[in-house]
Chains A and B, each alone.
Chain A
Amino acid sequence: MRYFALHQDVYFETGASGGALYDFMSRRVEPLSPADTAILEQLERAVPVDDVPGAGPLVRRLCDQKLGTRCATPTRRDRYMPVLKLKMSGLVEPPLVIGVLHLSLTASCTLSCTGCGDTAGAVWQGCNGCARWPGVRRDAAWTHGAIDQFFDDLGALDIRNVFFSGGDPLAELDLLDHAVRRLRQRTKPPGIIVTTNGTAVTPAVLDWVAENGVKLNFVLLGESAADYQRACGDAGAFEAVMEALGAAQLRSIPFNVALRLDGDGDGAAATARRRQWASTLGAQRVFGFETLRVQDDGGVAPAAWMATTGPARVPQVGPEQFFLRRDQHPCLSGTIAVGADLSARPCPMLEDRDFGHVGLTPLRTLLGQRRHERWWQLTKADIPGCSACEFRYACADCAAVDLAKRRQPALHAAVCSYDPARASWRQ
């Protein structure tokens, strides 16, 4: 009698219909048809190969691909990282690490983009863009006193990175400077990233950036003056931003670029061209983001990057990402956001998930109330539209879209072309 066993570093995940094999050695994700998934489910339950109709070809293929092996006896395969649900709280509370603290000190900005702060749609992969903090009034801002109180209250919380965004943080440089000084005084200073549209980046600002070890994240509204005219009505801003980028390069100041991909509906080729252009700007990393708008008929135009579809869209994944995504959401876990109105949320884009007001209740106290925990423990299995998908641990898609806009299911379809119920890709 012969049995089949997947290698221990190959994980089998099932979806509503199909399945997928996550091979940690090669980091690839192998899709399985519904029929093969049903066969493999039986083989995984230690049913002999000969007793499963149609198993022979699948077993041969998986052995040839070095995903598993034939064996004489069914054996227990120990999981690389098992899920053991233990109540680790109170005395055995694990260390609290805030991986990313998003801070918006001011909602004001040097530009006036159409749709900025719009709560009707959703920002897709907007973490690195500026079109976030929906629902915050444009005149909201911190004071020096509020900044001092906030940092006094932080105590010894372990904060690894602080992302400043706005509005544009450089629109009120004195507030930003004050906050950065307080951060640098901490026993373990965090990494600091400032997201800016670049129009207020002067030589003096770059001196300040270099002096404080700050990294810049430039948000670009397009690749031309025409794009800027269309996005914010200020064609001249494009030139100012290009100058700022050049000056940062000259001074060897590290920066990222976040490129807005939506706006003119000019198709996949234009999106690819823009990404290519952005990659020539000397940035360490290039991100893309776009705003998805709900149309009058309730539909949402597909995101620009959805031009390609099919299994090729499933990214490679290693064990580190796999277990991170299985056990928690990669961006919501360890993240706290505090807006210009001093309200704390799980992420800058979740405008209606308020934890509390840090001016009234210290952040430490809010954390002690455990209101963030639901978000930190969230996994793809908790997210509608993702929970039944076999690729959920390979996919790094933004959960905020689904979570914040549950009454607009078209948003999910706008960013994902896989249908787990049919195990097929939509065109």
Chain B
Amino acid sequence: MSAGRAAAILGVDKVSKTFLVPSVRRESVREHVMDLFRPRPADRLPVLQDVSFAVRPGETLGIMGRNGSGKSTLLKIVSGIYQPDSGRVTAGAPITPILELGVGLNPELHAIDNIFLIGSVLGLSLREIRASIDEILAFAELERFANLKVQHYSSGMSARLAYAIAFKAVREILILDEIFAVGDEGFQTRCKNRYRELRAAGHTVLLVSHSPLIIREFCDRVILLEQGRIAIEGDPGPVCEAYIDVTSHRPIPETEPAAVAG
């Protein structure tokens, strides 16, 4: 393990994150002025506690856990979108996060403008974007709708477009959140093939999924998150079994940190 950590391309070291959920939420200047002298009640909601792991170059690490176990928050911290309260993330290479990207499109723009927007945010140069527009539209099967505003797309169509752009913009480390649950059978097959290509090219991947089938098929190693801590870390087989145990035997708690964190 220590040798693996030394060679890690991505290291997460004792990361903790707590969201403050004020029982009375003050979000405006008015509320702050009115309540200036009243104490501020707040519930502390620990979402991640002392999470540490390391990923070696070319490895695919799976992350499983129930809703609210902290998976999405962890991915956002690793991607640099959220800041951890303590602990640190060290990445030896650029990261491309493919989170629930369907919402990342601008509905007022048509597909090609969205390709430029998302592509450049994910780090593609204009020349690279121009060269890959056809490929992206073909991957998403949206050639016929290239000049239609995204607000007229079905949810499946916009998700396909978002993933097609992100898959084109992949840098060294890839973070995938429930990617293989999008689109129809044909699109899922293309995603899996693209993923296999990336893996063969040596990309490192963090893969979140609820599906033991996906995890068994794609991951070298898996961690199971339970209430913000790593419950188990190991081979896909045993961890998937533990995950099934956890989801079927224990009741899901009423508070769901990830949902509150938005």
Please say whether chains A and B are actual partners in one complex. Answer: no
- Where the two chains meet, the residues of A that have a C-beta atom closer than 8 Å to any C-beta of B are none
- Where the two chains meet, the residues of B that have a C-beta atom closer than 8 Å to any C-beta of A are none
